[in-house]
């Protein structure tokens, strides 16, 4: 039986490597994902176009504007002189055209109030169509203004806050992205390949021919799944290599542990792929199911947006999303150097879900062609 | 004990009865043809034989290959059986050699034992020069030869072939059958479903199946001899109005056959009885020749009788 197994594994590899489309998916997709998500999709807020409406035109207001534009967060693009035109209209036009995302409005009596120790107000208007960056930008600006106020008035807050960000002090979003990408690749590749390859045998009729041979259902499954598991791990390693070597992301924990737990995760994804192959009859259908499920899994895995921000009912749903646990595991190992004791809360559910879905799928598969 | 015993095998797909208490026995070393039109139940029967689908439950049903109950223990007989389904079911993206290596591996052949078998198959099928070609790029005839080679790798004692030569060019068909006859000579039992009459005539026995039921079974010669009536051949161009004129003659039936006409009378009537009517119809009786009924004639007759019922 071992010969049958190795023959099967070899055949699967041959078939995948000969399929030009498959090859493109296996090699091009991870590179594109890494490049796009690593570079383009950044939650960092930088170079925000800031319009300044300075009705004060004093040394104080100039200092404030300089402070705002000093760092890398804001680019002062439109230093407006007060005109007879009402400033609010201009604001709308600029926002709508996408020419700027924030406006800083300094009132006429700004310097007078400051020097006479009276309270004064500054206007900050943000383009909320991108809610997350608007909130962050407002946060940055508020800090800049507060710092300026403390410098000018010499008033210190009674509580000094010292902030430290562990594990990702720069707040580099690519550190945050790559573990998620690694998990995504492993998930999508294994589910898609598994479901499509098995259904293809059904479609082409080659499955029937195999059923007449002495090969057992378990050998058949083992052979196919081994091949896809290897491919999935290869993809993951490839993505990790790019992440660490190209993007320079840290890898604090144990690679051995990561690969070991990936093998556990594979039980779940291979099981899901196998399950889809038992409920579809064409490769197109299989691909559709795989795709649809992957998108759902990715969006609710905590990869891009935190699960705790999601509505309660979705949060409950994520408990049966194995990818949620795996993303947490990958991040834990890569960024915090977590070990088994720390990750056990994620390992158990992932293992249980994986074994459950795999068993169901395998039982369905063992039924004969009928 | 016969090599293959099928008794009262039935199969329905919803309302359609594909097989109706079909029974057949095959002895070791025979070539048996399963003869029937599309939808007669041949493929269903073969798939039930190979344990790919379940027959309808029937207390009287039994299905045994070499004494082993197929429904309970097909795994035991798998090494004995070689199956070739109707549609090409090997891997088109693998080469001839890769397909054969794969199937040999499944049956446990590797290394020297495999190579010996493989070379034997190549000699047998003349596929050797094309070993590296992708199976998907082969011609119809070569595909079938490859499928047969893969089915033979493990030296099966029973070959089940479902229309193996349909869509294959005549030369390849002949070569294929030469392979089959060689196999029979070495003791392999073969069950082959075929719509080709010339192939049926090369078998030991023909089992006629129609509408899921067995009509009859006999050796091809015997089958032809069972034809009820006489057949004559008229080498005249079979225009429609000639056929109609001849058909109109009482006791005579006419059908076009190739570039001439077949005339049918019943058993006791000599064609000479119709001489007068024939001349009236513009036919020279001297041109008419008696011919031997063929398996095809008998089979069509059987189908027509069955349909009338």
pLDDT in tens, A98-124: 788 888 888 888 888 888 878 888 888
Domain boundary among A153, A181, A214: A153
Contacts 24+ apart (CB under 8 A), B276-280: B277/B249, B277/B252, B278/B246, B278/B249
Distance CA A123, CA A98 (A): 20
Q: How are strands ordered across the β-sheet holding B68-69?
A: B16-26, B4-13, B62-65, B68-69
B228-292 CATH pick, 3.50.50, 1.10.760, 1.10.1790, 3.30.70: 3.30.70
* Structural domain span for residue A126: 48-153
User: Which of A153, A179, A204 lies at the terminal end of a domain, its last residue?
Assistant: A153
- What is the C-alpha separation between B183 and B162, in angstroms, rounded? 17
A207 to chain B, closest Cα gap in Å: 8
The reported pLDDT for the residue numbered A207 is 85
How many residues are listed for chain A in this entry?
A: 370
Question: Do A144 and A199 belong together in one domain?
Answer: no
Determine, yes or no, domain membership for A163: no
Q: CB–CB of B53 and A4 under 8 A?
A: no
A314-324: average pLDDT: 89
- The CA distance from A180 to A327, in Å, is 6
**Which pLDDT does position A368 carry in this prediction?**
52
Q: pLDDT at position B239, please?
A: 86
A128 and A31 belong to one structural domain = no
CA distances from A262 to A129, A267, A270, B7 (A): 38, 9, 12, 53
Return the half-sphere exposure (C-beta side, CA atoms, 13 A cut-off) of residue A197. Answer: 32
Let me know: does B18 contact B41? Beta carbons within 8 Å.
Answer: yes
**DSSP characters for B244-292?**
HHHHHSTT-EEEEETTEEEEEE-TT--GGGGHHHHHHTT--GGG-EEE-
Q: Could you tell me the pLDDT band of residue A89, with boundaries at 50, 70 and 90?
A: low
Asked if A304 and A338 sit in the same domain, the reply is yes
**Is A72 contained in some domain?**
yes
- Return the exposure string of A149-186: e unless at least 16 CB atoms fall within 10 Å of the residue's CB, then b: eeeeeeeeeeeeeeeeeeeeeeebbbbbbbbbbbbbbb
> Does one domain contain both A93 and A225?
no
**Same domain, residue pair A194 and A280:** yes
Domain annotation covers residue A166: no
Whether residues B75 and A214 touch (CB distance < 8 A) is answered with yes
Task: Tell me the C-alpha distance between A294 and A306, whole Å.
Answer: 17
CB contact set of A130 (below 8 Å; sequence gap of 6+): A101
Q: Residue B162 has what pLDDT?
A: 93
Domains of chain A: total? 2
Establish if A75 belongs to a structural domain.
yes
pLDDT of residue B33: 94
Closest CA to A303 of A167, A170, A169, A181: A181
Looking at the complex, does the CB of residue B44 fall below 8 Å from at least one CB of chain A?
A: no
Structure-token match 């962050």, residue found: A136
Q: Do residue A195 and residue A333 come from a single domain?
A: yes
Which of A2, A4, A6, A7 is the mutation pick for testing B, counting most B CBs within 10 A? A7
B13 touches chain A (CB under 8 A): no
* Last residue within a domain, chosen from A153, A185, A219: A153
CB A58, CB A68: distance < 8 Å: no
A335 in a structural domain: yes
pLDDT digits (tens, 9 = 90+) for A321-352: 999 999 999 999 988 888 888 889 999 999 99
Do A208 and A258 share a domain, yes or no?
Answer: yes
Tell me what pLDDT residue A148 has. Answer: 85
Can you list the alpha helix ranges (DSSP code H) found in chain B?
Answer: 42-49, 70-77, 96-106, 111-125, 140-152, 170-185, 197-200, 220-225, 240-248, 275-280, 295-308
When pLDDT is cut at 50, 70 and 90, the band that residue A87 belongs to is low
- Closest residue, chain A, to B87 (C-alpha): A205
CA-closest candidate to residue A13, choices A176, A193, A141? A193
A→B interface, C-beta within 8 Å = 3-4, 6-8, 10-11, 14-15, 18-19, 204-206, 208-215, 368-370
Q: pLDDT band for position A370 (50/70/90)?
A: very low
B257/A contact by beta carbon, under 8 A:
no
Residues A302 and A202 in one domain: yes
Mutate to test the interface with A, among B47, B51, B86, B105 (most CBs of A within 10 A): B105
The set of residues, in sequence order, having a beta carbon less than 8 Å from that of A267 and lying 6+ positions away, is: A351, A354, A355, A358
Co-location of A187 and A330 in the same domain: yes
Q: Residue ranges per domain, chain B?
A: 4-224, 228-292
B261 with B246: CB under 8 angstroms?
A: yes
- A134 in a structural domain: yes
Whether residue A292 is predicted with pLDDT greater than 90 in this model: the reply is: yes
Q: Which residue has the higher pLDDT, B275 or A270?
A: A270
Q: Which CATH superfamily is domain B4-224 in?
A: P-loop containing nucleotide triphosphate hydrolases (3.40.50.300)
Is residue A369 very low, low, confident or very high in pLDDT (cuts 50, 70, 90)? very low
The reply to whether A270 and A357 lie within a common domain is yes
Start-to-end Cα distance in chain A: 25
Residue window 56-85, chain B: list those with CB within 8 Å of chain A.
75, 78-79, 81, 83, 85
**Is B206:B32 a contact under the CB 8 Å cutoff?**
yes
The partner residue sitting opposite A3, judged by closest CB among B83, B85, B108, is: B108
For A12-55, how does the pLDDT look when each residue is reduced to its tens digit (9 = 90+)? 888 888 888 777 777 787 778 778 877 776 666 778 888 888 88
Residues A87 and A65 in one domain: yes
In 3-state terms, what secondary structure has residue B219?
coil
CB B283 within 8 A of CB B247: no
A350, part of any domain: yes
User: Which residues in chain B touch residue A11, judged by CB atoms under 8 angstroms apart?
Assistant: 91, 94, 98, 102
Q: Is the pLDDT of residue A304 over 50?
A: yes
Could you list the pLDDT tens digit for every one of the 309 residues in chain B? 788 999 999 999 888 888 999 999 999 999 999 998 888 889 999 999 998 888 888 888 889 998 888 888 888 888 899 999 988 889 999 999 999 999 988 888 878 888 888 898 888 888 889 999 999 999 888 898 899 899 988 889 999 999 998 878 888 888 888 889 999 999 999 999 988 888 999 999 999 998 889 988 999 999 988 988 888 888 888 888 888 888 888 888 888 888 888 888 888 878 788 888 888 888 888 888 888 888 888 888 888 888 887
Question: Which of B53, B78, B94 is the closest to A11 by Cβ?
Answer: B94
Token duo for residue A28: 């091009």
Q: How much is the ipTM here?
A: 0.76
Q: In the predicted model, what is the mean pLDDT of residues A218-238?
A: 87
Burial of A360 (0-12, 13-18, 19+ CB in 10 A): middle
Give the pLDDT confidence of A129-176 residue by residue, as tens digits: 877 778 878 888 888 888 888 887 777 777 777 777 777 766 667 777
Cβ distance B2 to B177 under 8 Å?
no
For residues A281 and A223, membership in a common domain is answered with yes
What value does the mean pLDDT of chain A take? 84
Q: What is the DSSP letter of B134?
A: B
At residue B14, the pLDDT reads 87
**Of B87, B94, B105, which is closest to A205 when you measure between CB atoms?**
B87
Task: Note whether residue A213 is domain-resident.
Answer: yes
Q: Smallest Cβ distance to B89: which of A8, A208, A214?
A: A208
Closest residue of chain A to B99, computed from CA coordinates: A11
Residue A80: what pLDDT? 65
The candidate with the shortest Cα–Cα distance to A288, out of A196, A165, A179, A185, is A196
| Residue-level pLDDT at A138 | 84
């Amino acid at each position: 039986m071992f010969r049958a197994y190795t023959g099967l594994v070899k055949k699967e590899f041959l078939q995948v490597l000969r399929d030009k489309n498959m090859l493109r998916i296996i090699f091009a997709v991870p590179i594109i994902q890494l490049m796009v998500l690593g570079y383009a999709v950044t939650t960092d807020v930088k170079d925000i176009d800031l319009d300044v409406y300075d009705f004060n035109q004093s040394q104080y207001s100039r200092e404030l504007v300089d402070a705002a534009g000093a760092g890398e967060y804001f680019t002062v693009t439109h230093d407006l002189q007060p005109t007879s035109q009402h400033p609010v209209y201009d604001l709308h036009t600029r926002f709508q055209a996408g020419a700027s995302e924030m406006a800083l409005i300094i009132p006429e009596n700004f310097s007078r109030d400051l020097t006479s120790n009276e309270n004064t107000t500054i206007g900050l208007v943000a383009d909320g169509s991108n809610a997350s960056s608007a909130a962050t930008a407002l946060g940055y600006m508020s800090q800049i203004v507060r710092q300026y106020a403390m410098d000018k008035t010499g008033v210190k807050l009674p509580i000094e806050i010292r902030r430290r960000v562990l594990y990702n002090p720069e707040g580099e979003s690519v550190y945050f992205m790559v573990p998620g990408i690694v998990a995504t690749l492993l998930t999508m590749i294994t589910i898609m390949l598994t479901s499509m390859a098995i259904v293809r045998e059904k479609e082409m009729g080659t499955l029937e021919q195999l059923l007449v041979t002495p090969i057992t259902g378990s050998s058949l499954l083992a052979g196919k799944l081994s091949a896809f598991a290897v491919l999935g791990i290869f993809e993951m390693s490839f993505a990790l290599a790019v992440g660490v070597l190209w993007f320079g992301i840290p890898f604090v924990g144990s690679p051995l542990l990561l690969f070991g737990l990936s093998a556990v995760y594979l039980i779940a994804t291979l099981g899901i792929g196998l399950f889809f192959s038992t409920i579809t009859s064409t490769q197109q259908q299989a691909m559709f199911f795989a795709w649809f499920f992957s998108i759902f899994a990715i969006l609710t895995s905590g990869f891009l947006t935190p699960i705790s921000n999601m509505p309660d009912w979705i949060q409950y749903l994520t408990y049966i999303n194995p990818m949620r646990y795996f993303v947490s595991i990958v991040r834990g190992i890569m960024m915090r150097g977590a070990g088994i004791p720390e990750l056990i809360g994620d390992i158990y559910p992932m293992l249980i879900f994986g074994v459950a879905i795999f068993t169901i799928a395998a039982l369905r598969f063992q039924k004969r062609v009928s | 004990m016969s090599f293959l015993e099928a008794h009262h095998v039935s199969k329905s797909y919803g309302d359609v009865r594909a097989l109706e208490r079909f029974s057949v026995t095959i002895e070791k070393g025979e070539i048996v043809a399963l003869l029937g039109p599309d939808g007669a139940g041949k493929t269903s029967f073969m798939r039930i034989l190979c344990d790919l689908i379940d027959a309808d439950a029937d207390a009287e049903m039994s299905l045994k290959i070499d004494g082993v109950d197929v429904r309970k223990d097909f795994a035991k007989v798998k090494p004995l059986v070689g199956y070739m389904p109707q549609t090409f079911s090997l891997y088109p993206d693998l080469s001839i050699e890769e397909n054969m290596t794969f199937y040999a591996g499944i049956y446990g052949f590797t290394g020297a034992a495999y190579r010996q078998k493989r070379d034997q198959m190549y000699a047998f099928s003349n596929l050797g020069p094309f070993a590296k070609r992708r199976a998907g790029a082969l011609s119809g005839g070569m595909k079938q030869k490859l499928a047969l080679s893969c089915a033979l790798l493990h030296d099966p004692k029973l070959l089940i072939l479902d229309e193996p030569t349909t869509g294959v060019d005549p030369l390849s068909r002949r070569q294929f059958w030469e392979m089959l006859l060689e196999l029979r000579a070495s003791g392999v039992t073969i069950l082959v479903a075929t719509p080709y009459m010339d192939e049926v005539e090369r078998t030991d026995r023909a089992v006629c199946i129609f509408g899921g039921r067995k009509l009859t079974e006999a050796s091809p010669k015997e089958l032809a001899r069972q034809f009820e009536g006489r057949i004559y051949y008229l080498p005249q161009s079979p225009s429609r109005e000639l056929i109609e004129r001849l058909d109109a003659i009482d006791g005579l039936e006419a059908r076009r056959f190739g570039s001439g006409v077949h005339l049918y009378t019943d058993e006791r009537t000599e064609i000479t009885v119709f001489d007068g009517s024939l001349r009236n119809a513009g036919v020279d009786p001297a041109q008419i020749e008696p011919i031997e009924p063929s398996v095809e004639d008998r089979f069509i007759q059987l189908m027509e009788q069955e349909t009338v019922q």
